[in-house]
Each structure stands twice: as structure tokens, then as C-alpha cells.
Amino acid sequence: MGRPPAIPAEQKARIVMSVIAGELSVAEAARREKVSEQSIGRWKADFLEAGKTALAAGKSGPSTREQQLEAEVADLTQALGEAAVELRVWKKSAEGRLGPLRTSR
């Protein structure tokens, strides 16, 4: 017999919130969703742990993804600056060998 289809995260969250609110017992939720009680318990533990992590992080600083993007922006800004300097050096070098360059500037 194959594995049942995966339950979307939104549905898992609704199930866990129903259990936490006392609307359903773990056993009732497991029967209704055709999953094990252990699965419901694991979802509940994951849900509560993620909530604690979110509350601990609060608005104290940027998320990991924001930090990654900020680092990428810094790297790209530096690369752009280096490319601009290199282009200026090449233009100066070419002017010395070929005479003044005709540019739109």
C-alpha cells in the first residue's frame, strides 16, 4: 500500500490549532485526517517550536534571508565599483595609445 498524499502546511496548521484550542483531541484529529497520532504530535511540536523561535527573534534584526540578500547586494556593489575603475583604467590606457576616444560624455 502506498503512502497517503502529503498534507499542505496550511492544513496542518489548522489541524494543530484545533488540537491546541481543544476543539479536537489528537486521536480525533488523527482519525479524521487518516494519519498517525505521532504525526499530529510531531506537527504540534514543530508548530510550537517555530512559534517560540519567531517570538524570540521578534523584530530584533533582519531574517537570515534578508542578511543573505544584503551580503549579495554588498558583493555586487563592490564588483560594480571594481568594474567601473577597471573600465576607466582601460579607457585611459587606450587614450594613451590611440588618442582621445569619442564617447557620449
DSSP codes of every residue in 45-76: HHHHHHHHHHHHHTTSS--HHHHHHHHHHHHH
Residue 2, pLDDT above cutoff 90? no
- Are both 70 and 100 inside the same structural domain? yes
pLDDT value at residue 4: 67
Compare 101 and 11 and report the one with higher pLDDT: 11
* 48 and 6 co-located in one domain: yes
49 and 27 inside one domain: yes
Rounded to whole angstroms, the Cα distance separating 7 from 33 reads 9
Averaged pLDDT, 77-85: 94
- 23 plus 70 within the same structural domain: no
DSSP 8: P
Same domain, 52 and 11: yes
Q: Say if residue 18 is exposed, middle or buried (CB neighbours under 10 Å; 0-12, 13-18, 19+).
A: middle
Per the structure, the complete domain to which residue 81 belongs is given by 62-105
pLDDT of residue 75 exceeding 90? yes
**Cα 62 to Cα 58: distance, rounded to the nearest angstrom:** 10
Of 21 and 64, which is predicted with more confidence?
A: 21
Question: Does 39 share its domain with 53?
Answer: yes
| CA distance linking residue 4 with residue 86, whole number of Å | 59
What is the overall mean pLDDT for the chain? 87
pLDDT digit string (tens) for 14-31? 999 999 999 999 999 999
Contacts for 26 with CB less than 8 Å, ≥ 6 apart? 19, 37, 40, 41, 44
pLDDT at 16: 95
